[in-house]
A = this chain, B = another copy of it.
Amino acid sequence: MRGVQLKTVATGARPAFADTIIRGDCVAALEQLPAHSIDVVFADPPYNLQLEGGLTRPDQSVVDGVDDAWDQFASFEAYDAFTRAWLLAVRRVLKPDGTIWVIGSYHNIFRVGTMLQDLGFWILNDVVWRKTNPMPNFRGKRFTNAHETMIWASRGPKSRYTFNYEAMKAFNDDVQMRSDWLIPICTGSERLKDEAGDKLHPTQKPEALLARVLLASTEPGDIVLDPFFGSGTTGAVAKRLGRHYVGVEREEAYIEAATARIAAIETAPAAALQLLKGKKAEPRVPFGALLERGLVQAGAILSAANGRHQARVRADGSVESGSHSGSIHKVGALVQGLDACNGWTFWHTHVDGRLALIDTLRQQVRDEMAVAGG
């Protein structure tokens, strides 16, 4: 099901709203999109910072806090109502197997997380963005606020969501990617500036953060929605990685800047966008195929690595061991007294007097199939 949609998108038949920025209020704008049309949502909503009075550094210079009108809410109730409204709007356009990311700080993320759960989303992970270079706590009254939190959730408990496990593992030097990511904040040339040379947007996110998000949870050709598009980091990274984006943004100045920013981005070559896939993505080879190709003979004896278990291959591709019979997996489980067993990585054949794992024979078949397939 998913693969069909993916191919459609990849061949150019993508919806008209792909790679556009919709100007307007988040909820109203999302009503223009068809239901179940979005693969992944990345949302960076207002944090509802409650700053009272100005903050100064030890040298009395003024800290440029986030005090924009869009970040002001009268109460927690007002913020909850706002959160509920945009999450419901997003939920409508999200595909059943889609996922959503929301980033926030302790000011708002707990309310967002609660609302996500209340609306039926199923939290998959909370991911901590650890900043290499956070703003210090100038007054020495708290711990340096050195991280932000992202919640990653599927639309519901049974969703079959996309997670590029092998790619993340390779990215992380062959150990599983953890839920804490160390990434610098957005500074220097990456940070968009206005005419006066000041930062254009108060909370521009680093492209590295979005890149990891999209590499983990999308495939090339997927459509990513950002309902608080701002300076367009989501769109820029989506384009660079060969994904499509849809942005919603209220302020014209941000839309203009984001449009110019994204126009300057080049999509990486297709070869570089190939995602590392695990064994699950490889074609299934039944054990019987090994018999058909003569790699295993009917009547041959399979052995466990420790020599404790043996089984005889039957002509139909099943095996038997004592009173047990069935697939290589079933018999492997039975002789060990386990609930399950991967027969491919349990049984060995005798080749030239030595034991060889039958999984290596399967790989031979797969290699032959790859050649035949082109």
Residues of A within 8 A of B (CB): 56, 60, 76, 105-107, 109-114, 116-118, 123-128, 130-134, 136-137, 140-147, 149, 151-152, 163-174, 176-180, 182-184, 208, 211-212, 215-216, 241, 268-269, 271-276, 278, 283-284, 286-289, 291-293, 298-299, 312-318, 320, 325-330, 336, 338-341, 368-369, 371-372, 374
CB atoms of B293 and A208 under 8 A apart: yes
Sorted from nearest, which 4 A-B pairs have the closest CB atoms? Answer: A110-B113, A171-B317, A171-B288, A208-B292
Distance between Cα atoms of A35 and B356 in the complex (Å): 50
The interface residues of chain B lying within 8 Å CB-to-CB of A123 are 106-107
Question: Could you say which of A126, A152, A182, A315 has the most chain B C-beta atoms within 10 Å of its C-beta?
Answer: A315
A80 (CB) vs chain B CBs: closest residue: B114
Q: How many copies does the complex hold?
A: 2
Distance between Cα atoms of A328 and B330 in the complex (Å): 29
Distance between Cα atoms of A130 and B146 in the complex (Å): 13
CB atoms of A131 and B171 under 8 A apart: no
CB atoms of B273 and A372 under 8 A apart: no
The interface residues of chain B lying within 8 Å CB-to-CB of A215 are 315-317
CB atoms of B318 and A171 under 8 A apart: yes
Distance between Cα atoms of A182 and B314 in the complex (Å): 20
CB atoms of B125 and A128 under 8 A apart: no
